[in-house]
Amino acid sequence: SNTRGAHAPSIAEHAFGLLLSLTRKIPLSLDYQHKHQWRWENSYREPREIMGSTIGILGYGQIGRAIAQRASGFEVTTLAVDLYPGGGDRFVETVWPVDKLHDMLALSDILMVAAPLTRETHHMLGAKEFAAMPKNSIVIAVSRGGIIDEPALIDALNAGHLWGAGMDVNEIEPVAADSPFWDMPNVVMSHHLAGSSWQKEKRCVEILVENIQRLQDGAELINVVDKKAGF
């Protein structure tokens, strides 16, 4: 079994932290702050709004649902693709099957990567997928590294097709010192800490205690891992 669901609130909040850092140019403001500089000559044109965008969510499990719930407050359209498609909820009308990924990408101004890493999702997002997205779209990765083909992402960012990327997870961690990500002005990185919070730790313990009690009672466990699916 696993602690499915425990991480969803903190990861979803972190996803929007990365997104807002990009759209509101927060790293640039912090850089000016550290230099004791008041700079605003281009500030009216450089940031952008989330409102009115379409957010596509790759992976509509607990994390994807938490992202969609928080997205509703930004007055956006939210789409989702998942291995288990079907009826949606009050945050997305329909969860599309994986073979509709490119259809979703073509509509997504912002892509939230919330899928688990499996054989099927490894490098699921590459050059063709980024090219399918609208120009000036944004990619936010908060689930697992390896889903994104990182050289393809770097190429799409450098070419100006993608407006920016927020990366909490990378295929190889720690990220190499010579990785282009470190110095790219349109990339915000955090160090695989989206799931971190003391509240998350408490939820993990609660799930563990619940399953220990169920094991003692001979009851069905919660959060049983599907070993064939890989999560």
Is 203 known to be catalytic?
Answer: no
Residue 9 to residue 134: CA distance in whole angstroms: 28
CB 75 within 8 A of CB 52: yes
- Confirm if 119 and 146 have CB atoms less than 8 A apart: no
d(C-alpha 59, C-alpha 48), whole Å:
26
Residue 192 falls in the annotated catalytic set: yes
Give CA torsion, residues 192, 75, 110, 146, to 10 deg. Answer: 30
Q: Respond yes or no: is residue 214 known to be catalytic.
A: no
- The neighbouring-strand residues paired with 45 are none
Catalytic residue from among 4, 70, 192, 214? 192
Task: Determine the Cα–Cα distance for residues 6 and 176; give it in Å rounded to an integer.
Answer: 30
Query: 65 near 211, Cβ under 8 Å?
Result: no
Contact 12, 140 (CB under 8 A): no
User: The tokens of 161 are what?
Assistant: 């097709």
- DSSP code for 134: P
Catalytic residue among 49, 93, 173, 206: 173
Report the SS3 class of residue 125: strand
Place of tokens 């994807």: 64
Catalytic residue numbers?
A: 144, 173, 192
